Amino acid sequence: MTDAIRHVVIRGRVQGVGYRAWVEHQASLRQLEGWVRNRRDGSVEAVFAGPEAVVSEIIAACRRGPSAARVDAVQDEAGRSDLLNLREAGEGFSVLATA
């Protein structure tokens, strides 16, 4: 059961540093559903769904990011369940194409 869905946008030096792969790995470790993608404005966007405490934990981790990243800001807001429909069919967590 999904307790929380959060939609986040991470800004800083977050493209070209393995940030999406890191997010995918962190979400998989925590058994979260959702997706991550680069945005044309240089930010990274993600949706996380799962137990509220675990979703909060990954958002806190996103504020640090992988070692090569520099996170300047994380915008965090409630997500809608229809955002989960953007995942690749059959995947719990997807890395999506740049939007």
Q: Which long-range contacts (CB under 8 A, 24 or more apart) does 60-64 make?
A: 61/26, 62/8, 62/10, 62/23, 62/26
Is residue 38 part of the annotated active site? The answer reads: yes
Is residue 37 part of the annotated active site? The answer reads: no
Catalytic residue among 6, 20, 37, 87: 20
Could you give the strand order of the β-sheet that contains 4-13, starting from the edge strand earlier in sequence? 70-78, 4-13, 44-50, 33-38, 93-95
Catalytic residue among 6, 37, 38, 87: 38
Positions marked catalytic: 20, 38
